[in-house]
Structure 1
Amino acid sequence: STLPPAIEPDIDVDSENILLEYFNNKKNIVDILNNSSEEMFQIKYDIHIEMRQTMLGWRRSIETYDEESIKMTTNYIFSRFTEIIHNVRSQRRDYNPSYFYEILRMIEEEVTSASTEESYTFTSRYKIDLSLCLFQRASEIFKQVHREFKRANDPVNYLE
Structure 2
Amino acid sequence: MPRPKPATFDKQKVVAENRRARFDYAVEDTYEAGIALQGTEVKALRAGEASIAESYAEVRDGQVWLVNSNIPEYSHGNRENHEPKRPRKLLLHEREIAKLTGAVERKGMTLVPLSVYFNAKGRAKLELALAKGRQSQDKREYIKDRDWKRDKARLMREKG
- Structure 1 and Structure 2 fold alike (TM over 0.5): no
TM-score, structure 2 as length reference: 0.25
Larger Rg: 1
Structure whose residues are more often helix by fraction: 1
TM-score, structure 1 as length reference: 0.25
